[in-house]
C-alpha cells in the first residue's frame, strides 16, 4: 500500500522544522538510505534518508515550506507494482489531526476522510544521522533505522530499550543487548502523572503594540531559532534556582604561555601554523579540569536522582546570525590545548552555517559564555539545561592591584559561575570556581 513519509524529528526537543530542499523529484526511484531531502531546524541543516524503497509518487510539502510539524505528511511513496493514481488519491490523508487542512491544501485536495474501500497509507519516518522516531509526543522513541528493523524482527518493544547512542538514541548494539535481557526498562506506565511547571504569562502582542504609535515600528517575524532560545531560556530562569559566584583571575602567566606556545607551533606546507591558541582554549581546558577536581559539581539534576558525569563535556556559546548555539568539546579534560583549539575552530565555523549535527551541540555537562572580545567586564549567564553550571568570562584587561603592599599593574579577567542551587550548593560552587582560578592562573598545571 502507499507509504506516507512524515516530517522527521531530528532531536528529542524538535517540534517543527523547515523543508529546505528536495533532493528527489516526483517519479524518482528511492532506495533505503538514499538522501531525499534537507530539513532545517532552529540550530542546523540536516540531510535525511529514506527508510523504505519505492517510487516518490507525490511531494505533499514543497521545498521552502516553514514550520512543518513533526509527523506531518510531507510526501507519499509507493511500492513496486502499485498504482500511482491511487497513491495520489490518498496522499496526505493520514496527516496528524493538528494540521489536516494545511497538508490537504498543499496536496491540492479537500481535507476529507479516505473512502472505506481505499486502504489508508502507512506512515514512515525519515531516517537521519541523529535520530528517527517510531512514536509521537512524549512517548517518542529515537532509534536508528537498523535498530528499529532489528527490534521488529526480534519482537522487542523499542520503548523498553535503554539507548546508548547520541541523545539516548537506540542503536544496533542496544538491540543485541536487549535480546539477552540486558538494558531493558520496566514497562511504560499508561499515563504520566508528572506535574508540569506553569510559565508566568507575559504581555500580549496587542498590549505591547498599543504602547507605540502606529508606523513607528516594523514587525520582524521570529524564526524557529529565536523561538527556541526564548522558550528554553524562559524555562531555565523560571525553573532553575540560579546563584552567582564571581572571581578575578590574574592571567599574566597565561598570556605569556600562550605567546610562547603559538610562537613555536609547527607550520604546514602552506606555511600556516598548525594551531593558534586563544584565551578561550585555556578557559575550556581549565574548566574541564576543575570539574574533575570537584566531581560533585559535574552533575545534572533530574527528579529521580543526580546524574554524576565521568567526563567534562564543555559547551561553548557561539554567536551566529539570529541567535547562538553551543557546540560541545567532549572529554575536554583529556585533550591537549591544541586539540581543543582545532576542534573549537571547526565547530564554530560549521555552527555559523548551521552544519552541526544534533549530537555535536546537545547534552554536555557545563558551558562557557565568553563576551570578553566585546569588552564586557563581567556578566551573569543563564544556565543551559541539563547543565548545573555555566561560566561567564569577561575581558582580560590591565588593572591596578596591590601585591606585597605595592600597587602594580596586572592582566585581570573577571569570571562569574552561575550554579543550579538544586544540584550545586554555595560552598561546592565556590570550590569549583576556586579550582578554575588556580588552573587559569597557573597554566603549567594543565599539562600535568
Inform me whether the pLDDT recorded for 137 exceeds 90: no
Inform me whether the pLDDT recorded for 406 exceeds 70: yes
Best CA proximity match to 381, nearest among 426, 352, 415, 432: 415
| E strand or H helix that includes residue 153 | helix 145-154
Q: How much is the pLDDT for 224?
A: 77
Residue 281 and residue 341 in contact, taking contact as beta carbons nearer than 8 Å? yes
Integer angstrom CA distances of residue 142 from 139, 295, 371 = 10, 30, 36
Alpha-helical runs (H) found in 269-412 = 279-293, 337-352
Mean pLDDT for all residues in the chain: 82
Residue of 242, 293, 359, 421 with catalytic role: 421
Q: How much is the pLDDT for 353?
A: 86
Mean pLDDT of the 156-178 span: 78
Integer angstrom CA distances of residue 337 from 255, 282, 284, 294, 341 = 14, 7, 9, 21, 6
Residue 8 is classified by DSSP as P
pLDDT band at 201 (very low <50, low <70, confident <90, very high): low
Provide the Cα torsion 222, 227, 228, 230; round to 10°.
130
CATH dotted code for 3-140: 2.40.50.100
Inform me whether the pLDDT recorded for 162 exceeds 90: no
The C-alpha cell of 166 is what? 547520541
Question: pTM of the full predicted structure?
Answer: 0.64
Give helix 426-441 / helix 252-263 axis angle, nearest 10°. 50
pLDDT tens, 50-83? 877 888 888 999 988 888 888 888 888 888 777 6
Report which listed range, 113-122, 351-360, 391-400, is most confident: 391-400
| Residue 421 is among the residues annotated as catalytic for this protein | yes
Best CA proximity match to 48, nearest among 18, 14, 8, 11: 8
Mean pLDDT of the 198-216 span: 80
Please report how many Cα atoms fall inside a 13 Å half-sphere around the Cα of residue 87, on the Cβ side: 26
Residue 281 and residue 337 in contact, taking contact as beta carbons nearer than 8 Å? yes
Best CA proximity match to 134, nearest among 68, 71, 69: 71
| E strand or H helix that includes residue 210 | helix 205-210
Residue 189 is classified by DSSP as P
Mean pLDDT of the 424-435 span: 97
Distance from C-alpha of 31 to C-alpha of 50, rounded to nearest angstrom: 7
Question: Which residue did the predictor score with more confidence, 391 or 177?
Answer: 391
Is the domain covering 225-447 a CATH 3.40.718.10 domain?
A: no
Residue 365 and residue 291 in contact, taking contact as beta carbons nearer than 8 Å? yes
Phi-psi region of 83 (alpha: psi -120 to 50; beta: other; left: phi over 0): beta
Percent of the chain with pLDDT over 90: 43
pLDDT tens, 7-18? 887 776 677 888
Phi-psi region of 375 (alpha: psi -120 to 50; beta: other; left: phi over 0): left
pLDDT band at 47 (very low <50, low <70, confident <90, very high): confident
Q: How much is the pLDDT for 84?
A: 65
Instruction: Parse the chain into domains and list their residue ranges.
Output: 3-140, 225-447
Residue 299 and residue 424 in contact, taking contact as beta carbons nearer than 8 Å? yes
pLDDT tens, 223-241? 878 888 888 889 999 999 9
Amino acid at each position: 500500500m502507499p507509504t506516507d513519509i512524515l516530517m522527521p524529528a531530528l532531536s528529542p526537543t524538535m517540534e517543527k522544522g523547515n523543508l529546505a530542499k528536495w533532493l528527489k523529484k516526483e517519479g524518482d526511484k528511492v532506495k533505503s538510505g538514499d538522501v531525499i531531502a534537507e530539513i532545517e531546524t532552529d540550530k542546523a541543516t540536516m540531510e535525511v534518508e529514506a527508510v523504505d524503497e519505492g517510487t516518490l509518487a507525490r511531494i505533499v510539502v514543497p521545498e521552502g515550506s516553514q514550520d512543518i510539524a513533526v509527523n506531518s505528511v510531507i510526501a507519499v511513496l509507493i511500492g513496486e507494482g502499485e498504482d500511482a493514481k491511487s497513491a495520489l488519491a490518498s496522499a496526505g490523508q493520514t496527516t496528524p489531526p493538528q494540521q489536516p487542512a494545511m497538508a490537504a491544501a498543499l496536496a491540492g485536495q479537500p481535507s476529507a476522510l479516505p473512502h472505506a474501500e481505499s486502504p489508508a497509507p502507512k506512515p514512515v519516518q525519515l531516517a537521519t544521522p541523529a535520530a528517527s522516531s517510531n512514536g509521537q509526543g512524549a512517548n517518542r522513541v529515537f532509534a536508528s533505522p537498523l535498530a528499529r528493523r532489528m527490534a521488529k524482527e526480534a519482537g522487542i518493544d523499542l520503548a523498553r530499550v535503554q539507548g546508548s547512542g547520541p541523545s539516548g538514541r537506540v542503536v544496533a548494539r542496544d538491540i543485541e543487548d536487549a535480546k539477552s535481557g540486558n538494558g531493558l526498562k520496566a514497562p511504560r506506565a499508561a499515563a504520566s502523572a508528572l506535574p508540569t511547571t506553569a510559565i508566568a504569562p507575559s504581555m500580549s502582542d496587542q498590549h505591547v503594540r498599543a504602547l507605540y504609535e502606529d508606523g513607528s515600528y516594523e514587525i520582524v517575524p521570529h524564526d524557529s531559532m529565536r523561538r527556541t532560545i526564548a522558550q528554553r531560556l524562559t524555562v531555565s530562569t523560571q525553573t532553575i534556582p540560579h546563584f552567582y559566584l564571581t572571581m578575578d583571575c590574574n592571567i599574566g602567566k597565561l598570556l605569556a604561555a600562550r605567546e610562547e606556545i603559538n610562537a613555536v607551533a609547527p607550520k604546514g606546507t602552506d606555511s600556516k601554523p598548525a594551531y593558534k591558541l586563544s584565551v578561550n582554549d585555556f578557559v575550556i581546558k581549565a574548566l574541564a579540569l576543575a570539574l574533575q577536581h570537584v566531581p560533585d559539581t559535574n552533575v545534572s539534576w533530574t527528579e529521580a536522582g543526580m546524574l554524576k558525569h565521568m567526563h567534562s563535556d564543555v559547551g561553548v556559546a557561539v554567536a551566529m546570525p539570529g541567535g547562538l548555539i553551543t557546540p560541545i568539546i567532549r572529554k575536554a579534560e583529556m585533550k591537549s590545548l591544541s586539540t581543543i583549539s582545532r576542534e573549537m575552530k571547526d565547530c564554530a565555523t560549521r555552527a555559523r552555517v548551521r552544519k552541526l549535527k544534533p549530537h555535536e551541540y546537545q547534552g554536555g555537562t557545563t558551558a562557557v559564555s565568553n563576551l570578553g572580545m566585546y569588552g564586557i567586564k563581567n556578566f551573569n549567564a543563564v544556565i543551559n539545561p541539563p547543565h548545573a553550571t555555566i561560566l561567564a568570562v569577561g575581558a582580560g584587561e590591565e588593572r591596578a592591584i596591590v601585591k606585597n603592599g605595592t600597587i602594580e599593574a596586572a592582566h585581570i579577567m573577571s569570571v562569574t559561575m552561575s550554579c543550579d542551587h538544586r544540584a550545586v550548593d554555595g560552598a561546592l560552587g565556590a570550590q569549583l570556581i576556586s579550582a578554575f582560578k588556580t588552573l587559569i592562573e597557573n597554566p603549567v598545571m594543565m599539562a600535568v
